Amino acid sequence: MSSSMEPEMSYQQRLVVDLCFEESEYEAAIDMLVQLTSPRHRPTKLHIRQLLYIALFSPTDRHARIDPLASPSKRERKLGELPSAAASLAARNLLMAFAETNTPAAVLLALRPGDVDSPEEAESSLATESLCISRAKNCWQILAKGFLLNQQQQQFASVKGKGKVLSAGSFGDLHDTASPVGETAWPILEWLISIFERDEVATNATLRHSPLLLEQLGTASRRDSDAALAICHYSFAQSDPRRRALGIRLLNLLINLSSATDLDFPLIVVSIFNGLSESTSAEDIASLLAGLHPSSAVSKFKIALYQKYFNDTASNTTTNRKPIAARPRPQARAAQPKGSPAKARQSTSTSSASPSSLANKYRAPTSGDILRLLMETQASPRNKYDLLVAYNEYQALAPASERDPEWLEVARNGTVLDKAFGCKAQGAATMDPSEGEGVVYRDLLAGTLSVY
């Protein structure tokens, strides 16, 4: 994450925009912000928060705010105070323009966890209603279907009750929501992913990762990637290829983060593995993994995922595969005496160490482990091929200290090909039983390994 941000726009510039928002002239306010967009100064946190509210505003939100018992004139006046579909579209486009123009940290100020704006600072109905964006415990919560409507209903209930405005975190976890991404939230998900990707590039670190994304996954003592992973799974299930691509991009960010920080790498592997249904084909798995950007972290993830997939195939003979139990939800750690081993470990993990010192210590299997796995499983030739390609990529991209010195020999002398697809020299009787498919993937792999 960049250590410095561009200065905020001037008071005079902000005042002009605020006046438009206060008069419910949302499109005029957005047009003014479009003209003011510049890498030399950033938009205010309030303006980003209001733009997010307008961008997420749906026809359902609009309908729910109109009292059917009100007079026609009151209903008409209320409609004029609500964001229109055109204003929502303009807000989404402007948010993306800010993401492409300003620094990632500057654009994401309105969604920093724990940084809640004061209600006293709100000077308009939009500023007041958009406070729910600031109160969200993380950026994933605002994406959930019905987020704005739920906030409005809860705030109305609190006014009728004790007059207390509840925090966004008190309305239930995202994990309990049927749809972790609402229809109007897909552009905002793309906006967030773009910011995290730009933050990866801007971060000066040995291992590529986004500190801004890490902030959205809890604290060092309570990391929680469940909400982000739920969005990945929900995206993978979409028929729209653009939405599926967003899930792959988010998964790529999480993989990079797990290789550079204290984020739990095995948990990510288990979550993605558990999301694979019994009907998932070899092509489906390959298509999912093919969208990830090549890197040592991604190769390591592919290896770990295929390990679990192959082990599951070998150990289960029934059609109903039981998912591997995921890690329990994070709990607060009990206080430890000063100087105790647990306290020392926690202190080490939460200190401001370099990313490389925080990297997960998961090590890829040896070439011997891979060969044994191939011999013990009845997985498809396609999956065997993809595992071996991923392992070969990892051996080429990984630091020298993590490479297996035996891989080069078994890759060149044909041992890998024979163990995975059968011995071609001894005829078809020893080849993979999947007709000619095994021969095809053997030849493809032979071509890949020949240039290693």
pLDDT digit string, tens, across residues 25-41: 999 999 999 999 999 99
The list of the chain residues with pLDDT below 50 reads 1-2, 156, 159-177, 317-359, 426, 428-430, 432, 434
Residue ending a domain, among 115, 141, 173, is 173
**Residue numbers of the domain that contains 441:** 297-316+363-452
User: Is residue 411, in this structure, part of any structural domain at all?
Assistant: yes
Q: Provide the pLDDT for residue 328.
A: 43
Indicate whether 245 belongs to any domain.
no
Question: What pLDDT, on a 0 to 100 scale, did the predictor assign at position 361?
Answer: 62
Is the CB of residue 231 less than 8 Å from the CB of residue 181?
Answer: yes
- Whole-angstrom distance, CA of residue 210 vs CA of residue 107: 14
Q: Nearest Cα to 99, choosing from 12, 188, 30?
A: 188
The pair phi, psi for residue 219, each rounded to 5°, is -100, 175
Picking from 173, 199, 215, the residue at the C-terminal end of a domain is 173
Does 247 map to a domain? no
Q: Please give the structure tokens belonging to residue 73.
A: 């004139």
Same domain, 165 and 303: no
Q: Let me know whether 167 and 303 are in one domain.
A: no
- B/e letters for 114-140, b = 16+ CB within 10 Å, e = fewer, are eeebeeeeeebebbebbbbbbbbbbbb
Inside any domain, residue 446:
yes
Asked whether residue 94 is domain-assigned, the answer is yes
Q: Write the Ramachandran bin of 114: left for phi over 0, alpha for psi from -120 to 50, otherwise beta.
A: left
Q: How far is CA 195 from the centre of its chain?
A: 11
Position 343, amino acid: K
DSSP 8-state class, residue 291: T
The single residue listed with the structure tokens 């291992």 is 207
> pLDDT, tens digit, for every residue of 357-367?
444 567 899 99
Q: What pLDDT is attached to residue 120?
A: 58
Q: What is the pTM of this model?
A: 0.83
Instruction: Give the closest residue to 43 by CA, choosing from 68, 76, 18.
Output: 18
Instruction: For the chain, count helices (H), then strands (E).
Output: 24, 2
Count of domains observed in the chain = 2
Question: Does residue 390 form part of some domain?
Answer: yes
Classify the C-alpha dihedral 297-302-303-307 as positive or negative.
positive
- The string of DSSP codes covering 388-432 is HHHHHHHHHHS-GGGS-TTHHHHHHSSHHHHHHH--GGG-GGGS-
Say if residues 158 and 164 touch (Cβ distance below 8 Å).
yes
Cα angle at 201 between 272 and 51, to 5 degrees? 80
Last residue of a domain, one of 120, 155, 173: 173
* C-alpha to C-alpha distance for 238 and 233, rounded to whole angstroms: 9
Task: Tell me the DSSP string of 289-355.
Answer: HHTSPPSHHHHHHHHHHHHHHHHHHHH--SSSPPPPPPPPPP-PPPP--TT-HHHHHHHHHHS---H
Considering the domain boundaries, does residue 408 fall inside one? yes
Looking at the structure, do residues 312 and 451 belong to the same domain, yes or no? yes
271: in domain: no
Tell me, yes or no, whether 304 and 452 share the same domain: yes
